[in-house]
Structure 1
């Protein structure tokens, strides 16, 4: 029998609104880091390998790649995005696949899936919760069947 929580449906509009509310301050800081990262002396450290030609600039001067915000390596904002999408109380520590799919809708950087899997793999809290670290309660034994008196 299904309970009320399993039947509850959340619309994607509510989730996107929550995501925008949480991360709205971050886009302004990312835009500043993008401008610094695209300076000629910093472009080599970004490892874009020619993808900087595919970046498009929107009206707010933020650089996008395939309609997703490009997060530069400059100033360490990739780690900030991963921290915010993994450790906030709204995310409830998703696994690497779920975390990647959530971030993929809004952000982009090279090798994002690999970096996300590495980040989640290093999380000690997630490692403790995995089934390999849980102890079983012991051998299962069938209870004794009572006899009718």
Structure 2
């Protein structure tokens, strides 16, 4: 009744390559809405088996041995080789719930904006394991 009719169901075949959604821990996000707007994915991982209508079994590397291998379709997207949104899974330390800590490396720029009698300071931060273009 209230379902979004524009959303189509995702289906993958056995042997397809998919990416897994990971997210930074929210308590370390201090600069605006960066955590909610920039979803990151790791992979690609091969689909070994379809366990149900929306559940797939993935071939995970030994690095992710503590993570359960079965994932819902909402945690996966189709792999395209040209994506810049992919984080290399061997460069970050993931928890069992597929989260990681974002670390700031350097402050690239600092601005002080003055509106009437109030001053607001904003800084541009470069994050670890991200290029300079992704600084926020």
Could you state the TM-score of these two structures normalised by the residue count of structure 2? 0.24
| Greater per-residue helix proportion | 1
Bigger relative contact order (CA 8 A; separation at least 6): 2
The structure with more radius of gyration: 1
TM-score, length-scaled by structure 1: 0.23
